[in-house]
Chains A and B, each alone.
Chain A
Amino acid sequence: MIDKKLAQEILALPIKAGADFSEIFIERRKFSSLSLRNGKAYSANSGVDMGLGLRVICGDRILYSYTNDMSPSALTGLSKDAAEAVALKEKSHIKDFTQKKYESVHNVLIPPLSVSKSVIFDKLRSGAEAALGYSSLISEVMTSFSAYEQEIGIYNSEGLFTEDKRVRTRVSVNSVAGDDNEKQTGYLAPGAFAGYEFFENLDFDSLAADSARSAVTMLGAGPAPSGRFPVVIENGFGGVLFHEACGHGLEAIYIAKNTSAFAGRLGEKIASDKVTAIDDGTVPGSWGSLDIDDEGTPTTKNLLIENGVLKNYMCDNFYGKKLGLSSTGACRRQSYKFIPIPRMTNTYIAAGTDKREDIISSVELGIYCKNMGGGSVNTATSEFNFAVNEAYMIRNGKIAEPVRGASLIGRGSEILKNIEMVSPDRASACGMCGAASGSIPVTVGQPVIKVSEMTVGGRA
């Protein structure tokens, strides 16, 4: 995407001034979106993102600058500024580029930007009608489509040159049930590392109707109780529990800085025997997957926890090196505007052996969480919180009435030890994860799990 000679010139200036490593991340991304309200198109957008980020590492220091003025003078100017900020040490030189090519495991069939918005519109409208038709209590349905085609190039002072293309397509439906005094929502948003074919093959009408069902169910629900209860969490998006409670704390940046409750604990038992957890960036077609990460390392299937024992962290080159560990291909950034750091890709708790029926029937009085909302964590303390969008009471071993407004809180380090039962039927769901290197696509996943006791914050 830029002339190799120019790339070499940009990389060389900081190295000559004494830096250990320099890297160019160049990106051009085409974006398209369409949103409907009750079947009528109300927002449509398209655009081009383009720019270059220069990362320079000098000892423990990271210098990062970006620009979208791609003129040779502006780019070498960026590099000169970075060189000036590097303290003079012994001089070094950069290696010639060897291009690395990787076969993509993803099979993108229809570039989403090539599809007419009127075709996308028809399918979004059909979904909106399905949700509106589900019940007369549905007052509002938002359906939307968004997709991008991102081309990146990475050049670094160690001679790496590689390119990649990421194509992602996602749709969402948000149904609102209620009147002017009370409203409840049901939200579903699947996506994939894929082109338009993902939407074409999706039964969007059923998905839309299911979001309407969730909203209507919650409309009749009483408030969730508050206090300590056993909690059963459904498979799929329930994996957000692990993502927040533990996943972030296993990112090498927090380990290297000693701001994670899991720092220095490799080989220790940090979870119950039932817990095996994996971050796998290689899953074909999955929303959180990548062929190579954002510093050019191929992604891997990374075993994080095996039968409760901490086996590995999620590492990039910079923070991995500080810990004496190899990159696991987990270095990610939202765009050229962000310094890349170790992040999650597709993260999940592996399948167990406890039957779903046995899990429910083991609870005398507790909460069953069918649909989770988002959450957040303070990695230093491992205190997390997340919302439950669709919850039910469990009474005498049976799923009983729906309850609303529940949130779950706790400490990751404690909750992992309290995972008592894990079912065999694992499922995944996609989301956007926000952290220092921006908002990136990830999937979360798990089978049905039972946590022996958690604090439930409801209003009753």
Chain B
Amino acid sequence: MDMKYIKEFKEMLFEKALRKGFSDCEIYCERQKSFSVSIFRGEIEKFRNDISMGVGFRGIKDGKPGYAYTEDISPESADFIIDKAYENSSILDPDEEERLFVTDKPYPEVETYSEAIESLSNEYKTDIAKELEKKAYEYSEKIETVNTTAASGVSETYIANTKGMELYKISNSLMAHINVVASDGERKKTGSEIFISLDPGELDTDKLVSAACDKAITALKASPTESLRGRVIFKNEAFCSILEAFVQNFYAELAQKGLSLLKGREGTKIASELITVTDDPLMKGGYLSAPFDSEGVPSSVKTIIEKGVLKTLLYNLKSAEKDGRESTANGFRSSFKSPVSTYPTNFYINKGELSFEELLKELDTGIIITDVSGLHAGANPISGDFSLLSEGFLAEGGKIVRPVDGITCAGNFFELLKNITALSEDLKFSPSGIGSPSFIADGITVSGK
């Protein structure tokens, strides 16, 4: 980030804003630089090299926030966003006063940036994608189509306000992705895997290829099962997707609006005793690790559910003030364009003690759900109801007997949390920072034939 340029723009913006009548204001600036290369049939299919930068402005007038943003960092746009922010502030009718933040407390050290990734050449990343593709075609003759991508990105954030806060953070990562289509001449099935890390040395291309290919090839033999209701295993990755769809219920902001069934449930049992949930922004190598949130509040590790008991919801400054407590540093903007809202960081169900094989023995007979799709439509985050197109396996006598597809699994998120009867040790995180181990849940309806 060209800090001199940004600071000059900030000075100009603040001066114009104070003259307009704002009592306090904040600039939230993001710059992202990314590179990615995709391979299809041995050749570079897509090559991207992008830079984007934007400024989000928040001004306070009569205790009310006025937001506006711009990607055009010029004096004309400064006038436009201040006028619009002023209009936006005057129309709002908030329940509580908006305040900007400053603290004397120290900020935690978090590892979010790797020099090793910055020094990787474009050729090196191109070779990763080519190697993944080559290995996938060699893996099996059933692999019909392969798409691979390698990418790296660096993201910088600068926040400053008229209270004297001035913060900067930088993070980067390396990403490799493979998507395969397997065919047996009649049917086609897909499989994909993703790798994201701060450490290029962790990349194991063989492992990535076999995971994606095995998934697609195995699924070729899948067919629906009879409909049933009862115990199923949710595989770690499948439940990460489901947890992500329902995580908003842990936002105090939504609970206060009456949009979460967890409203007023702190201190009560909302899940099985096996369940402990943590939000950890300081995790080394965590996808969403950060020393502070978008409001500049220093990060800390929080226990959200402890042995089934809800300990706290996730707070930003405003929702914290409303409940008379401190922010949990979960006041994030999804981008410089968006107002401050609430988001989790690395949010996960703590692992259990069973190996996956022991979990399978515990299930004995039933369905293992390995993949769910259609979450944006098939999961109602407010009621907790879900009904999702699913794939997986049928298990009998503690052994996997065949793959299953064309089924839906349906249930209710809040009931499911209470009906978890066994937990594996195989904690895994999705790229969006949500983590879960595999587990057995009772009371799930599977619809098939």
Interface residues of A, Cβ cutoff 8 Å to B: 28, 32, 34, 37, 40-51, 59-70, 78, 81-82, 85, 116-118, 121, 139-140, 176, 178, 180-185, 224, 226-228, 257-259, 261, 337, 339, 373-376, 378, 380-381, 383-387, 404-407, 409, 455-460
Q: Is B190 an interface residue (CB 8 A)?
A: yes
A227 adjacent to B227 (CB under 8 Å): yes
If A66-B52, A184-B383, A380-B190 touch, whether A140 touches B257 (CB-CB below 8 Å) is yes
Which residue among A63, A66, A228, A455 has the maximum number of chain B CB atoms within 10 Å of its CB?
A455
If A49-B71, A375-B374, A376-B373 touch, whether A383 touches B445 (CB-CB below 8 Å) is no
A227 to chain B, nearest CB (A): 6
Which residue among B47, B72, B388, B409 has the maximum number of chain A CB atoms within 10 Å of its CB?
B47
A45 adjacent to B145 (CB under 8 Å): no
Specify which chain A residues have a CB less than 8 angstroms from the CB of B66 in the assembled complex.
44
Q: Is B387 an interface residue (CB 8 A)?
A: yes
CB within 8 A of B387: which of A183, A185, A405?
A405
A60 adjacent to B447 (CB under 8 Å): no
Specify which chain B residues have a CB less than 8 angstroms from the CB of A384 in the assembled complex.
389
A47 adjacent to B81 (CB under 8 Å): yes
A129 to chain B, nearest CB (A): 15
Q: Is B49 an interface residue (CB 8 A)?
A: yes
Interface string of B70-108 (1 = CB under 8 A from A): 111000010011001101110111100000000000000
Specify which chain B residues have a CB less than 8 angstroms from the CB of A184 in the assembled complex.
383
A337 adjacent to B50 (CB under 8 Å): yes
Specify which chain A residues have a CB less than 8 angstroms from the CB of B94 in the assembled complex.
42
If A226-B227, A257-B145, A457-B408 touch, whether A47 touches B68 (CB-CB below 8 Å) is yes
A335 to chain B, nearest CB (A): 10
Bound together, the chains give a CA A28 to CA B91 distance in angstroms of 26
A375 adjacent to B377 (CB under 8 Å): yes
Specify which chain A residues have a CB less than 8 angstroms from the CB of B382 in the assembled complex.
176, 183, 185
If A65-B48, A67-B52, A387-B387 touch, whether A44 touches B92 (CB-CB below 8 Å) is yes
Interface string of B249-265 (1 = CB under 8 A from A): 00000000111010110
B71 to chain A, nearest CB (A): 5
B447 adjacent to A455 (CB under 8 Å): yes
A105 to chain B, nearest CB (A): 30
Bound together, the chains give a CA A94 to CA B426 distance in angstroms of 57
Given contacts A44-B89, A81-B49, 11 further A-B contacts (CB under 8 A): A28-B72, A48-B72, A62-B47, A66-B52, A183-B382, A226-B447, A227-B449, A375-B377, A386-B374, A387-B374, A457-B387
B263 adjacent to A69 (CB under 8 Å): no
Closest to A436 in B: B46
Bound together, the chains give a CA A117 to CA B53 distance in angstroms of 28
Specify which chain A residues have a CB less than 8 angstroms from the CB of B404 in the assembled complex.
none
B88 adjacent to A117 (CB under 8 Å): yes
A-B contact pairs, 7 of them (CB 8 A): A43-B92, A43-B339, A47-B69, A50-B72, A117-B91, A381-B189, A405-B387
A46 adjacent to B85 (CB under 8 Å): yes
CB within 8 A of B377: which of A67, A185, A226, A407?
A407
Specify which chain B residues have a CB less than 8 angstroms from the CB of A257 in the assembled complex.
40, 145
CB within 8 A of A180: which of B261, B338, B388?
B261
User: From residue 35 to 62 of chain B, which have CB atoms closer than 8 A to chain A?
Assistant: 40, 43-54
CB within 8 A of B410: which of A68, A81, A386, A459?
A459
B387 adjacent to A381 (CB under 8 Å): no
CB within 8 A of B71: which of A48, A118, A375, A457?
A48
Which residue among B48, B187, B227, B378 has the maximum number of chain A CB atoms within 10 Å of its CB?
B378
Bound together, the chains give a CA A114 to CA B26 distance in angstroms of 26
A264 to chain B, nearest CB (A): 13
Which residue among B187, B263, B377, B388 has the maximum number of chain A CB atoms within 10 Å of its CB?
B377
Interface residues of B, Cβ cutoff 8 Å to A: 40, 43-54, 66-72, 77, 80-81, 84-85, 87-89, 91-94, 144-145, 181, 187-190, 224, 227, 257-259, 261, 263-264, 337-339, 373-374, 376-378, 380, 382-383, 385, 387-389, 405-412, 445, 447-449
If A68-B53, A180-B264, A261-B188 touch, whether A41 touches B91 (CB-CB below 8 Å) is yes
Q: Which 8 A-B pairs have the closest CB atoms?
A: A457-B408, A226-B447, A46-B84, A44-B88, A385-B389, A385-B374, A47-B69, A374-B377
B317 to chain A, nearest CB (A): 16
Specify which chain A residues have a CB less than 8 angstroms from the CB of B380 in the assembled complex.
185, 387, 405
Specify which chain A residues have a CB less than 8 angstroms from the CB of B376 in the assembled complex.
374, 376
Bound together, the chains give a CA A63 to CA B258 distance in angstroms of 47
Closest to A457 in B: B408
Closest to A386 in B: B377
Bound together, the chains give a CA A69 to CA B2 distance in angstroms of 12
Closest to B44 in A: A61
Bound together, the chains give a CA A460 to CA B227 distance in angstroms of 10
A265 to chain B, nearest CB (A): 14
A117 adjacent to B373 (CB under 8 Å): no
A380 adjacent to B389 (CB under 8 Å): no
Specify which chain B residues have a CB less than 8 angstroms from the CB of A78 in the assembled complex.
49
Bound together, the chains give a CA A339 to CA B49 distance in angstroms of 12
Specify which chain A residues have a CB less than 8 angstroms from the CB of B408 in the assembled complex.
226, 385, 407, 409, 455, 457
Bound together, the chains give a CA A434 to CA B162 distance in angstroms of 39
Bound together, the chains give a CA A34 to CA B181 distance in angstroms of 43
